[in-house]
Structure 1
Amino acid sequence: MKLKYNSVEELVKASLSSNKKISEIVLEEQAEDMELAPEAVYATMEKSFDVMKQSVLNGMDETLRSPSGLSGGAAAKLKKAVDEGRNHYGHLLGNAISMALAVTEYNSCMGQIVAAPTAGACGVIPAALISVMDEYDLPKHDIIMSLFTASAIGMVIAKCASIAGAEGGCQAEVGSASAMAAAALSELFGGTPQMVSDSCAIALKNTLGLVCDPVAGLVEVPCIKRNAMGVANAFTASELALAGITSVIPADEVILAMKQVGQQMSSSLRETAEGGLAATPTGCRLCKKIFG
């Protein structure tokens, strides 16, 4: 069937009817739509993944500092704690959080990243997939294929709701990234198409209502640490779904709810830096310090 990315349910049905993974049908459909060989489309995704990996490495530089001075060095600090066994919640989670920080800090320093789905949420998917790849020695091919599943979920969200903070708040950015990562993880670890759908729904539900309130209008505070939260949320959602725990509210209804919540948000909470943390005394002081 020709995918239109109108719903997550469509992806699940297409996967079940073809007896193929969501990633496989998405790759085939994208190749046909772009009139390219599947190998060429795969190669493009592989290049994106390689950029993700490099952004993780570059973001671990302990001397890294953004022009504003608001961020830099946090990823290296956490990675050091993990390497020395000083973190408290496991090697995988510690590494994943440090990677999410690394990519977003590197973005704040104008480094090359993959905006998946946006620059403000660029750390979640790389952190989730690269950390599990390292932890479990998973094949690079499987990781790249899981990105097609993530991208399909992102396309549905973008079409049916929004992935823009200016339109839907941070739920549309970090929330969407978290849902995409959770879906990819669930397929990666052998989950059924329905588990992929449930993990998407759970991750998005967990971030419903999250506002976009960047201090000084910069994609740093609180965006960077929200990416760290996003990868932990993706792990949680995938873990639940893979254990057979379903989402009471179907993924497509959660996406619609997110759209409606975004529409009801005050404009001060949608990337304008006029509300939330941006409007706190410290947020205002920092804005004045940076811009005068």
Structure 2
Amino acid sequence: MSNKEIIAQEVTRTLGISSFIKNIVIERCASPWNEKTLIKAKKDHLAVKLFVWDDPTFLYGRIHRLFLYVCDVLNPAFCYRPRTSPDEEKEPTRRNRFSQIWSIYVDSRMERQGIDNFYDKCLRENLFIDTEKGLSWEAARTVFRILWQKESYAYPEIIDYSYDLSTLCGVGSPAKAASPEIDLIDSLQDTSVKKHMDRISPPVLKEMAHDILNFAAYYCKDTFIEARYYGISMAYHHRTFLEIIPASDSGFFLTMLDSPANIYETETVTESSDIHSIQKMIKERYDRMASQEHHA
């Protein structure tokens, strides 16, 4: 029995749902972004297929969160009615919002239970803000925080919110983004390292971001740099250890992996930040991660 299968059995027992599931199939997927749960309702039980990234990082938490979707399906109060959800082909935007909100419900419970998880609050917030391209960042952030704090959902509620966020208690009609911001968000559809760098201003901050990028490329051997929709990612042996995320006119976000603790830490880089201290920390954390990989 594989480690994933052992964890899956442990999680289903912990959640009290093992008696409702007669068959669990676990398949590999390319990254944590592709992890998902497929649920088939049989006459007297569920058949569950999990797609799980083949990496030990947060493995227990990643499998635990996938089974929370199963818990929701089994919960009569959740009122699971899959045929009523937005159609992925006909309404892709509504479907994406629907998936984001259900995932927020799952990951906020993971945080309240204190279970380490790839999708922490910071990452989930960034994903939601990126999804809501028609809202200003502040409006999207406000909506996210209300969604995150909500302790329980029903399936029909999530569907309602996917069509109209103003039905969410505490939210009026969320402010639409001003046209310059919409232009900026639209530009993210065609991502590149250069485009992300161009989003950073003033010139002093852009130069600092270039210095960090060039430093990592030169001093961190075998680093793979790629543009993602939210920013610039740097990975060593397929493991992301550094990200530069454009944020505002006053700074940009820098996320670094603390490999011994298996956590990511984010700070805001401003014009007053000490670039040499940042570069020193990047090199120290890269060296620790590379050493761990070498001795693994």
Interval containing the TM-score (normalised by the shorter chain): under 0.3
Write 1 or 2 for the structure with the bigger share of strand. 2
TM-score of the pair, normalised by structure 2: 0.28
Which is greater in Rg?
A: 2
